[in-house]
Amino acid sequence: MTHKEPGLQDRFGRQFSYLRLSITDVCNFRCSYCLPDGYQKQSGPEPLQLDEIQRLLAVFAQLGTRKVRITGGEPSVRKDLTEIIQLAANTDGIDQVALTTNGYKLAENIAAWHAAGLQQLNVSIDSLDAERFQQITGYSHLARIIEGIDQALALGLKVKVNAVLLKGFDQTELALFENWLKQTPVSVRFIELMQTGDQPVFFSEHHVRGEAIRQQLLDNGWSLRPRQPHDGPALEFSHPDYQGRFGLIMPYSKDFCSSCNRLRISSLGKLHLCLFGDQGHDLRQLLDGSHTSDELAAELQHLLGIKSETHYLHAGETGAMRHFAMLGG
């Protein structure tokens, strides 16, 4: 690119400095709210390859992207995950590389991922009760995932844990997380279940509002931290007696979209302007090396111009999102 680009900003003044890059839609877990029957193999194109990812990230970085989160499906099913981390970390302008994983390969790989440039890790753990964890995910080695988290912390990584709130989450479950946070400096983020196309019945049977957790945290002495200028949509709670923190992500709350700072790329190279908005805009044809970075930058600027102000989840409209493994949350 030869001139200074104005950066990625939409019609509503929101700046997009954060990219979520899905590198596969394959997953080995069967989370009840995401892929209850497991991943169903489909024929079709391969996910983005290293050279395509490199071209894509270079242009996003030139347009002001500073943070990249690698997600999936389960990103660690890809054999070249370490190279993808390295490539993102070596992209000029990108100063934070994060990964979202279900953690099943964490303990054996975290040292290599860290050496490749990974700074931030999100691990999904919906329950610290081993039996309930297995019921939700279909996977039994919760203790091994916790071991991986301990290793990540020892290496100095910033760790967040994602827990989707599901009916049945009660005081006992919350107490398990609180106990863990006493000595463990991670941020546990409770995420309200979001409705997806595949799961309308599951959603109506299992969705619980984050508001109840918010009240319980306040009752237990946690306090809401003031928002910082570049914070995403999570509310953050801290407590002087605990090393860890809680976060609450309530996508159905008013104004959730006003702090949106992220764009998403699917594993096949489609830009999604909103998790729930659209079918995705295909960028892959611009990534084959026969197009200039200016062409891709111009397309991105054009697409940003049509981003909507908000999602329509309140009205039950889930857009093209059948399940989160398609885009990685």
Q: Where are the alpha helices (H) located in the chain, listed in sequence order? A: 50-62, 81-89, 106-116, 130-137, 142-154, 171-183, 200-206, 211-219, 293-304
Q: Are 249 and 234 in contact (CB under 8 A)?
A: yes
* CA atoms of 240 and 78, how far apart (whole Å): 40
Closer Cβ to ligand SF4, 10 or 74, answer by number: 74
Answer yes or no whether residue 16 interacts with ligand SF4 by CB under 6 A. Answer: no
Answer yes or no whether residue 242 interacts with ligand SAM by CB under 6 A. Answer: no
Answer yes or no whether residue 184 interacts with ligand SAM by CB under 6 A. Answer: no
**Which does residue 107 bind out of ligand SF4, ligand SAM, none, counting CB within 5 to 8 angstroms by kind?**
none
Compute how many residues bind ligand SAM; rule: CB under 6 A.
20
**Which does residue 247 bind out of ligand SAM, ligand SF4, none, counting CB within 5 to 8 angstroms by kind?**
none
* CA atoms of 116 and 170, how far apart (whole Å): 39
**Which does residue 194 bind out of ligand SF4, ligand SAM, none, counting CB within 5 to 8 angstroms by kind?**
ligand SAM
Answer yes or no whether residue 91 interacts with ligand SAM by CB under 6 A. Answer: no
Answer yes or no whether residue 106 interacts with ligand SAM by CB under 6 A. Answer: no
**Which does residue 101 bind out of ligand SAM, ligand SF4, none, counting CB within 5 to 8 angstroms by kind?**
ligand SAM
User: In angstroms, what is the minimal distance from the CB of 99 to ligand SAM?
Assistant: 9
Angle subtended by helix axes 293-304 and 50-62, to nearest 10: 60
For the chain, the C-alpha Rg in angstroms (whole number) is 19
Answer yes or no whether residue 328 interacts with ligand SAM by CB under 6 A. Answer: yes
CA atoms within 13 A on the CB side of 6: 10
Answer yes or no whether residue 123 interacts with ligand SF4 by CB under 6 A. Answer: no
CA atoms within 13 A on the CB side of 110: 28
Closer Cβ to ligand SF4, 75 or 319, answer by number: 75
Answer yes or no whether residue 25 interacts with ligand SAM by CB under 6 A. Answer: no
* Span near ligand SF4 by CB under 6 A; candidates 24-32, 106-114, 197-205, 306-314: 24-32
Answer yes or no whether residue 62 interacts with ligand SAM by CB under 6 A. Answer: no
Q: Are 100 and 129 in contact (CB under 8 A)?
A: no
User: In angstroms, what is the minimal distance from the CB of 191 to ligand SAM?
Assistant: 5
Spatial CA neighbour of 12 closest among 328, 315, 323, 308: 308
Contacts of 326 (CB under 8 A, 6+ apart): 22, 25, 266
**Which does residue 35 bind out of ligand SAM, ligand SF4, none, counting CB within 5 to 8 angstroms by kind?**
ligand SF4
User: In angstroms, what is the minimal distance from the CB of 142 to ligand SF4?
Assistant: 13
| Residue at token pair 């493994």 | 325
147 DSSP assignment: H
Tally: H helices and E strands in the chain = 9, 12
* Span near ligand SF4 by CB under 6 A; candidates 8-16, 70-78, 172-180, 250-258: 70-78
DSSP line for 81-138? HHHHHHHHHTSTT--EEEEEE-STTHHHHHHHHHHHT--EEEEE-S-SSHHHHHHHHS
Site for ligand SF4, rule CB under 6 A: 27, 29, 31, 34-35, 72-74, 102, 124, 324-325
Site for ligand SAM, rule CB under 6 A: 27, 33-34, 71-72, 74, 100-102, 124, 162, 164, 191, 193-194, 196, 324-325, 328-329
